[in-house]
């Protein structure tokens, strides 16, 4: 991604390994599924602390692969999950939204 557009900023808490989360850290560029309202979406993440370890809470910039599909659906303080398949590895809360299909 060159000059990516930031669609969301969120606080994310990766589940610990004991809670059923990842066994290894995630690094910026990670593409876990962005899950809300019963549906998975493709997204990429850049973390404020890199790598992001299991059990850690941090801020992340989120880049949605199809931002036009989310207009009117995402807002500040909306919760979501990050999943790998059907397995939840993190929980998040949106703190900033910028969905603009014009770029």
User: Mean pLDDT of successive 10-residue segments in the chain (103 residues)?
Assistant: 75 97 96 97 96 97 94 96 96 91 50
Supply the pLDDT for residue 59.
98
Per-domain residue ranges of the chain: 8-97
Give the CATH H-level superfamily of domain 8-97: Translation factors (2.40.30.10)
Supply the pLDDT for residue 99.
79
Nearest to 83 by CA among 49, 45, 51, 56: 45
- Cα–Cα distance measured from residue 32 to residue 37, given in angstroms and rounded to the nearest whole number: 16
């Amino acid at each position: 991604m060159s000059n990516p557009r930031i669609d969301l900023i969120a606080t994310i808490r990766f589940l610990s390994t004991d809670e059923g989360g990842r066994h290894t850290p995630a690094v910026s560029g990670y593409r876990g599924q962005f899950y809300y309202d019963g549906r998975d979406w493709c997204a990429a993440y850049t973390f404020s602390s890199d790598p992001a370890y299991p059990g850690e809470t941090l801020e992340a910039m989120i880049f949605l692969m199809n931002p036009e599909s989310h207009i009117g659906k995402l807002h500040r303080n909306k919760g979501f999950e990050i999943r790998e398949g059907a397995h939840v590895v993190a929980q998040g809360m949106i703190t900033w939204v910028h969905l603009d299909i014009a770029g």
